[in-house]
Every structure is written in structure tokens, then in C-alpha cells.
Amino acid sequence: MRQLYATVDGSFGQVLIGKDFGLYSRSNIFQDEILMGFGSPGAATGVSFGNIRTGYPYPNPSAQITYRSPEMGGLNVAVGIFEPANTTPGAGSEQSAPRFEAEVTYSADLSGVSLTGWLNGRSQKSENDTSSVDSTGLGYGLRASAAGFSLSGSGFTSEGDVPVLISDTAAPISEEDADGFLVQGSYTLGANRLVLSYGETDSDQADYETENTSVALFHSVNSNLKLVAEYNMFEQSTKSTGADAADIDTLALGAVVMF
């Protein structure tokens, strides 16, 4: 179960208590043009939508208490305390403080051009009797839309976790680096939306480099039904050796039902 929470709303903003997606990398994934499609093939987690692993990490749903400010002239701020991940399993393992995450978003309309920008991040510490790992991450992005066209770019940099999601690990990890980016363009004409997408992730921690190129066409039948056709070209190599680890082309045809 990914989401189970309650909210308290008022003139002060909103307080969310329960389990929901994280704030770090949240807008990176929710602004992805092919999030409703297949995208890059999933890893062992089975997640195979959007550009997880090829442009951004997954904002893994976690227990949290998050405050969101009221809208302030296009500016929105969210800060939260989260259940920390155990990245140093072993004797004496503990996380003595919560994980902290935050996101700032800003939206504006400049002479008919809609702009959305965001900055998000997280920080946590995990330790055992012999090691300590500080995990940090920073995500960012900008999207501009006008006259049916949309251009967007986003990226992230992190250390101290495998850049798919921050979660409990089977063995202690190191504080090695990872980074990635995603660039996309789309054009909407009537009920049709054409998307071109390219993303990369480079990870010392997981010892891989990935990239995914996608071409997708979405057709809205009505507000509840959307048809999808896309072609994805995914490649993965082992960073330390340069050896090819995966070369997967995917043709995906299907439908998205929303209710």
C-alpha cells in the first residue's frame, strides 16, 4: 500500500499524517511527460513507469508528518519529517533522528507562457557499531508551456543511497555519488499529445550508467480513458568496467483508465 493518510486543512495550510510519496524528487516524477506510460523497464522492484532509473529516483512512499503552506502568489512550500531508512544494517544499527525532506515549487504565467519550477531535497543519517552513512539528495527542474508546446528539464544529485529509492538495505552502503537528468518536449493538438523524452542516471553507488529514449503518443478518448502507444530504447552499462549490462527496446500499446 503506497498511500494511506489523513489531512488537516485550514487558512494555515495543510498537515498530512500517514504514508504518502516523499517530497524529494516528487515533482521530478509527477512532471514526467510519460509517467502514465511504460517508460524504462523496471528493476527488481518491478516498477516500470516513467523514467525511474533514467533521470530521477523514486520518491518512495514513507510514514511522515508533512506541512504544506497555503499558496503564496504561485509559491508553495512543503516540509516533512519521515521514517528513516536503515542503510547501515548490522550490530548496533540505529537511526536516531527522522529523515527530513522539503520541496519548494513556483508557478507563473508570463505573457502566455506557463512556467513551473521546483527544488527539493532530503537528509538522513544511519549508523551501526562500525559505520555511519549520511544520505543527502537534491532535485530540481523547470517546465515551460505555450500554444500546445511544452519543454521541460530536470535533474538530481545524491550521495549515500542507491539512486532508485531510499529504503532499507541488506548490507551497509557507502556515501558514493549519483546524478541524473531528464529532458522532454511535447506537443498537444486536440485530443492527441506527442512526447519526445531522454533521460540518464550515473551512479557510483550502484555501479551503473543508464539512459532511456522514448517516443510516445497519447490519445484522450474522454476524461476517463486515454490510449497510449510508445517506443522506448533503454541501455545500461557497468560504470566500473564499461561493459554493456542491458539493451532493451520496448513497444508498448495500451490504455489508461482514471476514475
CATH number at residue 38: 2.40.160.10
> How far is residue 178's CA from residue 215's CA, in Å, rounded to a whole number?
26
pLDDT digits 0-9 by tens, 39-61:
888 665 556 678 988 999 999 89
pTM: 0.93
Long-range own/partner contacts, residues 153-158 (CB < 8 A, 24 or more apart)? 153/181, 153/182, 153/183, 153/184, 154/27, 154/28, 154/31, 154/55, 154/56, 154/181, 154/182, 155/55, 155/56, 155/179, 155/180, 155/181, 155/182, 156/25, 156/28, 156/56, 156/57, 156/180, 156/181, 158/57
Query: What is the number of residues in the chain?
Result: 259
pLDDT at 252: 92
pLDDT at 53: 87
Q: For each successive 10 residues of the chain (259 residues), what is the average pLDDT?
A: 94 97 96 90 66 91 97 96 95 95 97 96 96 95 97 96 83 92 98 97 92 96 96 94 93 92
> How far is residue 209's CA from residue 207's CA, in Å, rounded to a whole number?
7
Query: CB within 8 A of 205, min separation 6: which ones?
Result: 159, 160, 161, 162, 163, 173, 174, 176, 177, 178
> How far is residue 120's CA from residue 141's CA, in Å, rounded to a whole number?
9
Domain carrying residue 112:
4-257
- CA–CA distance from 8 to each of 4, 15, 79 (Å)? 14, 5, 15
Q: Taking a C-beta distance cutoff of 8 angstroms, is the pair 213, 201 a contact?
A: no
Domain count, the chain: 1
> How far is residue 235's CA from residue 256's CA, in Å, rounded to a whole number?
26
pLDDT at 48: 66
Maximum distance among all Cα pairs of the chain, rounded to whole angstroms: 61
pLDDT at 49: 75
Q: Taking a C-beta distance cutoff of 8 angstroms, is the pair 57, 85 a contact?
A: no
As given in the structure block, the three cell numbers for residue 254 are 495500451
pLDDT digits 0-9 by tens, 180-215:
999 999 999 999 999 999 999 999 988 999 999 999
Q: Residues 87, 88, 89, 92: what is their CA dihedral angle, to the nearest 10 degrees?
A: -140
